[in-house]
Amino acid sequence: MITTDVVVVGAGPCGLFQIFELGLLGLKSEIIDSIRQPGGQCTELYPDKPIYDIPAIPVCTGEELTDLLLKQIEPFDYGMHLGQEVTTVERQDDGSFIVGTSADQQFHAKAVVIAGGVGSFQARAVRAAGVEDHVGTSLHYSVKDPKVFAGKQLVIFGGGDSALDWVIELADKAKHITLVHRRDEYRAVDASVSKMRSLADEGKIDVFENSKVTEFTGAPGELTAVTIANKEGETTEISADCALVFFGLAPKLGPIAEWGLDMNRKTINVNTETFETTEPGIYAVGDINHYPGKKKLILCGFHEAALAAFAIKQRIEPDKKVHVQYTTTSPIMHKRLGVGD
């Protein structure tokens, strides 16, 4: 069990900036995200696209903004836990919380900030006959251990970076690879597309474009073949003992909806003075919250994170007045930031 002041659910831009605001007030955080990289929508949905409305940064990409936020929180002693979903938040008798994750990790915190955006990103599922018999055994949505695919007849579905990266990575390790893509244009970087095409030209892999899977065949856990159909409806059966599906990630609100909070459709109602939800000690910032006039913009989430941090500090230290201090001049802030004398 990890003990901390605050658990932040979601490492998107608002969750990352929340760590900064809490750190300035001397509070320690642990941040958790279901995906394997920080940045939320910025890195998952538009890493290379420019953002023009971050104050004092005329332009930066989603990835650059994330890198800058990570740099900004470097002075603080926080913990980051990626690739695990926060599944439970349980209030204790003393008003603190035990937060549990899909990786069976537990955190004990005095407050929780939900910065879950539009939900946790999860792999888009494939739909075809026989899928249920193979998910998790011979059909996977991610690669945990590439060695599992050595010597296998592998079919990889998708046309983005993940699909092509694994085609290239596993080309020499698998017994045979077939790539199946529903279009003939790829979303992966040009270098990967070129590499994949040269592997196909060399006869090292087979590629079926404008095709989609219709059936996974074989006893449960023992895939023997996949059937695909092209646009004309012609079918092809491909021998296979493993399949990898990379249809991208889609956000799902997931367990947050079950934490007993007052919701407004898929968002959480908050008090705009503190950004506290209807549950004392649980706060919500960024795209996940709702209040009159809410705008789902990064700069709005940054403001919300600042006010939530002050409210949390006051909750944790109710007998002390929490003063606003300028980072420019405050010796305490300088000490926390590790700057100056």
- Contacting ligand FAD (CB under 6 A), which of 6, 7, 22, 42? 42
- Contacting ligand FAD (CB under 6 A), which of 35, 111, 228, 307? 35
Q: Reduced to 3 states, what is the DSSP secondary structure of residue 308?
A: helix
The closest of 276, 294, 275, 288 to 119, measured between CA atoms, is 288
- Contacting ligand FAD (CB under 6 A), which of 120, 153, 178, 277? 120
277 in contact with ligand FAD (CB under 6 A): no
Cβ 245 to ligand FAD shortest distance, Å:
19
Looking only at the bridges linking them, the beta strands covering 205-208 and 289-290 are unpaired
| Closest CB to ligand FAD among residues 218, 254 | 254
| Closest CB to ligand FAD among residues 15, 23 | 15
- Contacting ligand FAD (CB under 6 A), which of 23, 40, 130, 159? 40
304 in contact with ligand FAD (CB under 6 A): no
Alpha-carbon gap, residue 107 to 31, rounded angstroms: 10
| Closest CB to ligand FAD among residues 141, 208 | 141
65 in contact with ligand FAD (CB under 6 A): no
Q: Reduced to 3 states, what is the DSSP secondary structure of residue 157?
A: strand
Structure tokens at 306: 């600042």
34 in contact with ligand FAD (CB under 6 A): yes
Q: Give start and end residues of each alpha helix (H) in the chain.
A: 13-24, 41-44, 62-72, 161-170, 190-201, 298-316, 331-337
- Contacting ligand FAD (CB under 6 A), which of 7, 22, 97, 119? 119
The pattern of x and - marking residues 244 through 273 that bind ligand FAD according to CB under 6 A reads ----------xxx-----------------
C-alpha distance from residue 130 to each of 134, 216, 244, 317 (Å): 7, 5, 15, 56
47 in contact with ligand FAD (CB under 6 A): no
With CB under 6 A, what is the number of residues at the site for ligand FAD?
A: 38
| Closest CB to ligand FAD among residues 46, 227 | 46
Q: Are 211 and 224 in contact (CB under 8 A)?
A: no
53 in contact with ligand FAD (CB under 6 A): yes
| Closest CB to ligand FAD among residues 83, 218 | 83
Alpha-carbon gap, residue 148 to 139, rounded angstroms: 12
The closest of 200, 204, 229 to 214, measured between CA atoms, is 229
Q: Are 97 and 89 in contact (CB under 8 A)?
A: yes
Long-range pairs, 88-97, Cβ under 8 A, ≥24: 88/255, 89/259, 89/282, 91/279, 91/281, 95/280, 95/281, 96/281, 97/7, 97/281, 97/282
22 in contact with ligand FAD (CB under 6 A): no
- Contacting ligand FAD (CB under 6 A), which of 8, 73, 115, 155? 115
Site for ligand FAD in 70-109 (CB under 6 A): 85-86
- Of all residues in the shown chain, the one whose CB is closest to ligand FAD is 117
The residues binding ligand FAD (CB under 6 A) are 9-15, 32-35, 40-42, 45-46, 51, 53, 85-86, 115-121, 254-256, 286-288, 296-299, 301
